[in-house]
Amino acid sequence: MTSTPTEVAPAAPSALRRLLPGAPAGREARGSTLLRHLAVAVFFGTLVVLVTNQLAPYQNLQVARVCAFLCVTAGHTVLVGLNGQLSLGHGALMATGAYTMALTQQALDERAVRGWWTLPASLLAAVAVTALGGLVVGLAAARLRGPYLAGVTLAVATLVPAVTTIFTGVFNGEQGLPFPAQTPPAALGAYFQPERWLAWIALAAALLTMLLLANLVRSRFGRSLRAVRDDEVAARLAGIPVARTQVLAFVVSAACAGLGGGVYAMLTATVAPGKFPLDLSLFLLMAIVIGGLGSLAGAVWGAVLLVALQDLPGLLTEHLDLSAGLAQRLEGNLALAVFGLILIVVMLAAPGGLQGGVRAVGDRLRAALRRRRAPRRSPDR
């Protein structure tokens, strides 16, 4: 008797495999993942709060700025790294959240509305309006790929600052909108550092963003994002609505940018077009590439780099005896030049970004420890 060869179906991509019919629901796994993420958020939140108690006011503002940018870079990582859509307009989305935050606070102050809830309400308004903007951009960009998608988002990055300078009656032109100072609650004491309070608010926003995104990445929707990124045709054959997934990725990413912009408005005390230049979108994209597109941890590296490199020209002009003209040129170009140099070095040395390099080093150390702990075989006699 001759055996007939059996046809073996090709293996589905890893992101698709768990989306196919018959895949386990994993409800218990989702519950344990949520608890693990909550524990990590509580640990790092407690650690940062303890650190801020020992920092000077300016250093606490730096921590707050890192947290504000972390909201943006984390959402940007979901869009670019997990879904594969290139965006050059996240600086404009961040500006949208900041202006919405300032306008909402202004409207509440004009109506003499006071209370602890006004700040969260303004942040929610910033998130909602920016998410709506992300929906519009996502619908427009759903059929575009590559340079065409980048061109649409770049147009958004140039449109938003232009709108703020044209409608001066609403946005106050180049001078921008003032943002009221946020005083700490009386329960914290009369001498509690206001900058520390701002750092705590920004930290809460960043932790909430990271917690929600970490669980989203592990969810069915997160697997759909990766499946669409890896192979749109295979994802469509598996029943994934590709266009809707891409639009929702834009909405989620824009909402995070709006939250970061709202927190940033609270820190800068003035929301003006100069706070959100065109190169901010380029900085945000380079930050997540340098940090590592594959994970949310890379967004943390990117946020830290953003704040550190923005402060670099000021540190140089403070400690070096530079002329006024040279100091002005450094302030405008040094951060971009250093960012570009770091990007080249990281792409050559660690294509997976800083987080990918850290993960590779950790894997090698664990492999070395396993080899050392493995029992040695006696030589054969």
Is the Cβ–Cβ distance between 157 and 278 less than 8 Å?
yes
Instruction: Give the H or E element holding residue 125.
Output: helix 118-141
Widest CA span in the chain: 92
Q: What pLDDT is recorded for position 2?
A: 45
Q: What pLDDT is recorded for position 130?
A: 97
DSSP letter at 14 equals H
Q: What pLDDT is recorded for position 357?
A: 86
Is the Cβ–Cβ distance between 197 and 184 less than 8 Å?
yes
Q: What pLDDT is recorded for position 37?
A: 87
Tell me which amino acid residue 377 is.
R
Q: What pLDDT is recorded for position 201?
A: 95
- Here the tokens at position 244 are 């809707």
Is the Cβ–Cβ distance between 46 and 200 less than 8 Å?
no
- Do you know the residue count of the chain? 381
- Here the tokens at position 323 are 């002329």
Query: pLDDT below 70 — which residues of the chain?
Result: 1-31, 317-332, 375-381
- Whole-angstrom distance between the N-terminal and C-terminal Cα of the chain? 48
Q: What pLDDT is recorded for position 180?
A: 85
Please, what is the Cα angle at 313 between 315 and 68, to 5 degrees?
Answer: 90
- The residues, any chain, with a CB within 8 Å of residue 364's CB and separated by 6 or more, are none
The closest of 53, 20, 281 to 154, measured between CA atoms, is 281
Instruction: Give the H or E element holding residue 271.
Output: strand 270-271
SS3 13: coil
- The residues, any chain, with a CB within 8 Å of residue 58's CB and separated by 6 or more, are 195
**57-63-69-74 Cα dihedral, nearest 10 degrees:** -160
